[in-house]
Amino acid sequence: MSQVIADLFRRITCGVYVIGVAADSRYNAFTAAWVMPVSFNPLLLALSINPRHSSYELLTQGKSFSVNVLSRQQLDLARHFGGPATIDKLASVAWRKGRNGTPLLIDALAWFECGLTGECPAGDHVLALGRVIDGNLLKPDAAPLTYRETGDMDGAAAIFPDRFS
Ligand SMILES: Cc1cc2nc3c(=O)[nH]c(=O)nc-3n(C[C@H](O)[C@H](O)[C@H](O)COP(=O)(O)O)c2cc1C
């Protein structure tokens, strides 16, 4: 466990997103901070996902994902979707299907829809590349939630190594 390394990594500024996935009328969503734009043309976003998450199976089957941007007022949603899919996490939240079937949160600050174009192993995660096929800014005046504002909600301090190697 390393609180020191977790604190250091919190200085890399990330947003907080709810990633929606869908396949064969099954839907799920999870909180992610490791999301970034990686290309202007074509428009590409990269998502780093732990392949042990239940969402990963739906991502690889459905070959698409949505990125719902959370605002500073939505820490509760970050916590809700940061939990495992032992419950239907989408049942208590208003959402609709996007063009590619992935969940779009009605109350998001903004959303993107992506088609999965490739995957690359990244240590204990997988980098998923998504081509942005649609997007919408719903709350132009709202400030996006940052990862640092979530504190240790994701339990990262217990996961980071305790020294550099
Ligand atoms: C603030 C926060 C950020 C997170 N960022 C990521 C991330 O970037 N990638 C990832 O794979 N999991 C991330 N997680 C963990 C997942 O949200 C969590 O393990 C979730 O239970 C996975 O859900 P699922 O099993 O329903 O797919 C984050 C959690 C929180 C609370």
Share of the chain above pLDDT 90, in %: 98
109 assigned to some structural domain: yes
Backbone angles phi and psi of 153, in degrees to 5: -55, -35
The total number of structural domains that make up the chain:
1
Domain coverage including residue 119: 3-157
Ligand 1: which residues within 6 Å by Cβ? 16, 28, 30-34, 48-50, 53-55, 78, 82-85, 147, 150, 153-154
> What CATH number is given to the structural domain containing 145?
2.30.110.10
- DSSP per-residue codes, 72-139: TT-HHHHHHHTS-TTS-TTTTS-EEE-TTS-EEETT-SEEEEEEEEEEEEETTEEEEEEEEEEEEES-
Q: Residues 76-132: pLDDT tens digits?
A: 999 999 999 999 999 999 999 999 999 999 999 999 999 999 999 999 999 999 999
162 assigned to some structural domain: no
- Kindly list the distances between the CA atom of residue 60 and the CA atoms of 18, 23, 116, 133, in Å, as whole numbers in the listed order: 17, 9, 8, 17
**Could you tell which of 9, 27, 31 is best to mutate to test the pocket of ligand 1, judged by most ligand atoms within 8 Å of the CB?**
31
